[in-house]
């Protein structure tokens, strides 16, 4: 029995049927440490027991894929014998409880995933969701999470080159903090987490083990948040970026010197998860002597040592003859590297404590014999399009435009990224604030363009189309820099899949994402699932955050979002009719947004890449939240130059200006190149010259209606929105 009088398995978050399964597999009652290990490894956070069956729908192979899902991070070939390694991961629940450390350790965790593959991190990104900024709690969470990301990322020296944030009541009690890390590694230096070689040593590297983060994966990350969240604060880990930097340098030095057989980071469920993954993947056993694990404090029970989530630790497999060299290299980096056990041929995870065997579990029981569940798939009602006649037409389109630019969801995110080191490593060619970050691949003239994006309103309304839209918006951001989208990673943030239509939305959005990824030829190589983002106030929107990596063969050809020169032609490129449905302009998640057409997006991406290669475009910027009017204003503000366009009014001028949907890009080019760009456009992609760069105002004529804002005022409103919202109270 546990302390509450309930059975221990129930306190640990296991169902009675799951406990019976443990007993059946083991052929006996598990010891307490064993039960703790099962409870964590079979938690949703570690096992994906509700989502794994659905994830099989993703395309995960392709000529560039070097390493797909299942390892610490995915890897794709980018030529010159190099691979780009990347993954996005959530740290939602810890951030909702303690935003600074929750967000900071989220960065630490994703960076270690990249290090574990043997790669050098070259970029960080983050995708955030909070309640609206009129809430004091949301302002606190937002401010502290951003500080935490900056604190950790700045100190470890990885440039933060992009991301996104949205504010909505649905995230008031369940904020989302997703972090993505991108690294580079020569193919022959890629490390696997598979333990190999009977008799090889199991080596724990980095921080000492303490009592922090015990049960984080099950208590925090696999249950809904409630009123007693403050009590869960001890389950949030505390990060030390200085140690992480030393760990990063050490792991790279060890890999360079060929001293490692395998490497794995310690994240959720700590040593238990790391060791069982390494054993299962390598088809071997691991024997751990818990008394040799360096502890930060005395008195830890064996179960606590096995599941502590103390940060900045890695687990390595090392040949016995190389142990001395590993220990010496660790000493020079001022870190511990401790031999805590060995590789065995049993296939079992064994743990000794004070000379006694306290754990003996076949590792596959923990990693593969998880009870998987089908989620209920109750469809939500099909959406109905907004009747435009019920939407009041604004008297003053110019005022409506300024109001939209001042919506924190649309406004400049400078307040965030100004707190991040965007430049360390001297490889950042396109900084945050544009469509995607562009970073040079070190030692080459190539670059990667990286972004994170999500269309949660669309996904709530129509999960299949919204899944597609999430992929295509992210890929379009990357394509706007001139890069070719080559692969993706995803972080599926959803509510409780056992309730309402969440399971259906999860399944449908994955199907939509998969179809879009297939159409644009960008396989998923890594990912993460975060469920139970739900509180007594209700579920979050289904939030499938997509990270896309694109490749530029010549870094010098990348395109930015800012207009450059007076008299350059402004082009509207792409497809799709703008609609007010689920738009920022309408300001609510309602209606039937324009369905994306992945094949036309694929053609749009090819056009943009070819234009970059031929250096035909001077700028390109995705039309997203706030529609054409906001995209135009942003290109003007970023370039500190005005612009004037004329477009058809369509159904109504406000919808033409502020409506969203389809795949559209605002671009600029030398007037002499308009015909060249149009000639390169493939089927289904329209290239229309809509105006010219210049002047001190930003002006849109839609039919007989005109909206006009001064560049200076637009910039003030757009830049000032978030700082003012934070200072207001």
Partner 1 sequence: MSATRVAVLRFPGTLDHQSAARAVQGVGAEPVFTHHEDTALPTGTHAVVIPGGFSYGDHLRPGALASRTPIMGAVKDHAKAGGKVLGICNGFQILCESGLLPGVLRPNASLSFICRQADLEVADAGTPWTGGRGAGEVLSIPFKHHDGAWFGTPGEARVVLRYKGENPNGSIDKIAGISNLAGNVMGLMPHPEEAQEPLLGSTDGRVLFAALIA
Total residues interacting with partner 1, rule: CB under 8 A = 29
Please provide the size of the chain in residues: 729
Give the C-alpha separation, 725 to 722, whole Å.
5
* Minimal distance, residue 412 CB to partner 1, in Å: 13
Helix then strand then coil, in percent of the chain rounded to 5, is 40, 25, 35
Using the rule CB under 8 A, give the single segment among 111-119, 418-426, 468-476, 481-489 that binds partner 1. 418-426
Of 90-98, 146-154, 253-261, 582-590, the window that binds partner 1 (rule: CB under 8 A) is 146-154
Query: CA 623 to CA 612: how far, in whole Å?
Result: 18
Q: How far is the CB of 442 from partner 1 (least distance, A)?
A: 8
Rounded to 10 deg, the angle between the 598-613 and 463-480 helix axes is 0
The one catalytic residue in 45, 50, 151, 621 is 45
**Closest of 396, 394, 112 to residue 263, by C-alpha:** 112
- The answer to the question of residue 429 lying near partner 1 (CB under 8 A) is yes
- Complex with partner 1: residue 1 or 426, whichever CB lies closer: 426
Tracing tokens 């995705």 back to the chain, one arrives at 622
CB of 430 to partner 1, least distance (A): 10
Q: Pick the catalytic residue from 91, 93, 333, 621.
A: 91
Cα distances (angstroms) measured from residue 446 to each of 158, 208, 455, 524: 19, 39, 30, 22
The one among 428, 481, 543, 721 contacting partner 1 by CB under 8 A: 428
Task: Return the H-helix or E-strand segment holding 546.
Answer: strand 543-552
Residue 392's Cβ-count burial label (10 Å; 0-12, 13-18, 19+) is exposed
Q: Catalytic residue at 45?
A: yes
Separation between Cα atoms, residue 262 and residue 183, nearest integer Å: 18
Look at residues 136, 134, 140 and name the one whose alpha carbon lies nearest to residue 98: 140
Q: Does 422 bind partner 1 (CB under 8 A)?
A: yes
Of these, 89, 309, 348, 421, which contacts partner 1 (CB under 8 A)? 421
566 counts as catalytic: no
147 binds partner 1 (CB under 8 A): yes
Mask for 339-358, x = binds partner 1 (CB under 8 A): --------------------
What six digits make up the tokens of 227? 């009123």
Site string for partner 1, 660-689 (x = CB under 8 A): ------------------------------
Best CA proximity match to 108, nearest among 13, 251, 238, 293 = 238
* Residue 715 · residue 638 · CB < 8 Å: no
CA distances from 171 to 167, 451, 491, 537 (A): 7, 22, 16, 10
Q: How far is the CB of 480 from partner 1 (least distance, A)?
A: 18
**Cα dihedral value 302, 304, 306, 311, nearest 10:** -140
Q: Is 53 in the site for partner 1 (CB under 8 A)?
A: no
Interaction residues for partner 1, span 439-458 (CB under 8 A)? 440
The 232-251 contact track toward partner 1, x by CB under 8 A, reads --------xxxx-xx-----
Please pick, from the candidates 327, 391, 424, 599, the single residue that binds partner 1 as defined by CB under 8 A.
424
Q: Does residue 45 interact with partner 1 by CB under 8 A? A: no
Q: Residue 33, SS3?
A: helix
As a whole number of angstroms, the distance between CA 182 and CA 176 comes to 20
Rounded to a whole number of angstroms, the minimum distance from the CB of residue 243 to partner 1 is 8
Cα–Cα distance measured from residue 136 to residue 132, given in angstroms and rounded to the nearest whole number: 9
x/- contact string, 378-417, with partner 1 (CB under 8 A)?
---------------------------------------x
The reply on whether position 420 binds partner 1 by CB under 8 A is yes
Q: Which is nearer to partner 1, 206 or 463 (CB)?
A: 206
Q: Which of 8, 25, 26, 155 binds partner 1 (CB under 8 A)?
A: 155
Q: Which is nearer to partner 1, 157 or 376 (CB)?
A: 157
Binding mask 318-337 for partner 1 (x = CB under 8 A): ---------------xx---
Tokens of 656: 């033409």
Cβ 431 to partner 1 shortest distance, Å? 8
Q: Is 419 in the site for partner 1 (CB under 8 A)?
A: yes
In angstroms, the CA 427 to CA 582 distance is: 38
Helix (H) or strand (E) holding 115: helix 99-116
If one asks whether residue 150 binds partner 1 (CB under 8 A), the answer comes out as yes
Helices (H), 525-642: 598-613, 627-639
Nearer to partner 1, 155 or 388 (CB): 155
Binding site for partner 1 (CB under 8 A): 147, 150, 154-157, 240-243, 245-246, 333-334, 417-426, 428-429, 440, 555-556
Active site members: 45, 91
């Amino acid at each position: 029995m546990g302390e509450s009088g309930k059975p221990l398995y129930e306190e640990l978050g296991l169902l009675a049927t799951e406990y019976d399964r443990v007993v059946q597999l083991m052929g006996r009652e598990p010891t307490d440490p064993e039960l703790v290990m099962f409870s964590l490894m079979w938690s949703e956070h570690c096992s994906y027991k509700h989502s794994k069956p659905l994830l099989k729908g993703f395309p995960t192979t392709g000529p560039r894929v070097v390493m797909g899902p299942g390892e610490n991070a995915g890897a794709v070939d980018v030529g010159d014998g190099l691979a780009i390694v990347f993954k996005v991961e959530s740290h939602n629940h810890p951030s909702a409880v303690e935003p600074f450390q929750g967000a900071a350790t989220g960065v630490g965790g994703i960076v270690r995933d990249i290090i574990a593959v043997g790669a050098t991190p070259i970029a960080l990104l983050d995708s955030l969701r909070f309640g609206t900024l009129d809430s004091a709690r949301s302002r606190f969470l937002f401010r502290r999470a951003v500080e935490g990301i900056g604190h950790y990322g700045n100190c470890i020296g990885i440039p933060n080159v992009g991301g996104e944030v949205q504010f909505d009541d649905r995230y008031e009690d369940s904020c989302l903090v997703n972090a993505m890390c991108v690294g580079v590694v020569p193919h022959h230096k890629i490390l696997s987490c598979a333990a190999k070689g009977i008799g090889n040593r199991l080596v724990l590297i980095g921080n000492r083990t303490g009592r922090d983060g015990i049960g984080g994966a099950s208590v925090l990350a696999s249950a809904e948040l409630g009123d007693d969240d403050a009590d869960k604060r001890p389950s949030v880990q505390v990060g030390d970026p200085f140690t992480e930097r030393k760990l990063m340098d050490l792991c790279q030095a060890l890999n360079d010197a060929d001293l490692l057989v395998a490497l794995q980071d310690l994240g959720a469920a700590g040593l238990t998860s790391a060791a069982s993954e390494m054993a299962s993947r390598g088809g071997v056993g691991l024997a751990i002597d818990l008394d040799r694990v360096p502890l930060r404090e005395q008195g830890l029970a064996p179960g606590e040592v096995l599941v502590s989530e103390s940060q900045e630790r890695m687990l390595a497999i090392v040949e016995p003859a190389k142990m001395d060299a590993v220990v010496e290299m660790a000493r020079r980096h001022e870190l511990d590297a401790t031999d805590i056990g060995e590789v065995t041929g049993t296939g079992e995870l064994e743990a000794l404590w004070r000379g006694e065997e306290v754990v003996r579990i076949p590792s596959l029981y923990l990693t593969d014999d998880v009870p998987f569940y089908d989620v209920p798939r109750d469809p939500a009602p099909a959406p109905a399009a907004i009747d435009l006649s019920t939407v009041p037409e604004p008297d003053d389109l110019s005022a409506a435009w300024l109001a939209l630019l001042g919506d924190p969801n649309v406004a400049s995110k400078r307040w965030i990224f100004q707190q991040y080191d965007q430049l360390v490593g001297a490889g950042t060619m396109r900084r945050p604030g544009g469509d995607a970050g562009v970073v040079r691949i070190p030692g080459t003239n190539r670059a990667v363009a990286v972004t994170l994006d999500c269309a949660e309103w669309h996904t709530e309304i129509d999960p299949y189309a919204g899944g597609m839209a999430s992929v295509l918006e992210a890929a379009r951001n990357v394509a706007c820099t001139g890069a070719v989208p080559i692969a993706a990673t995803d972080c599926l943030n959803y509510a409780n899949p056992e309730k309402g239509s969440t399971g259906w939305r999860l399944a449908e959005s994955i199907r939509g994402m998969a179809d879009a990824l297939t159409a644009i030829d960008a396989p998923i190589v890594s990912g993460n699932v975060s469920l139970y983002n739900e509180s007594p106030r209700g579920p979050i929107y289904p939030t499938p955050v997509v990270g896309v990596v694109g490749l530029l063969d010549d870094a010098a050809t990348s395109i930015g979002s800012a207009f450059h020169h007076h008299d350059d032609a402004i082009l509207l490129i792409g497809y799709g009719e703008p609609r007010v449905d689920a738009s920022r302009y309408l300001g609510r998640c309602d209606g039937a947004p324009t369905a994306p057409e992945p094949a036309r997006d694929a053609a749009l991406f090819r056009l943009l890449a070819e234009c970059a290669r031929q250096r035909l475009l001077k700028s390109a910027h995705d039309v997203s939240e706030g529609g054409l009017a906001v995209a135009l204003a942003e290109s003007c503000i970023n370039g500190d130059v005005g612009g004037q366009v004329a477009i058809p009014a369509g159904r109504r001028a406000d919808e033409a200006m502020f409506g969203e949907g389809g795949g559209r890009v605002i671009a600029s080019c030398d007037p002499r190149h308009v015909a060249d760009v149009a000639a390169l456009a493939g089927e289904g992609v329209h290239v229309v010259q809509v105006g010219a760069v210049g002047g001190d105002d930003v002006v849109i004529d839609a039919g007989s209606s005109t909206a006009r804002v001064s560049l200076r005022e637009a910039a003030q409103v757009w830049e000032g929105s978030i700082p003012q919202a934070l200072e207001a109270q």
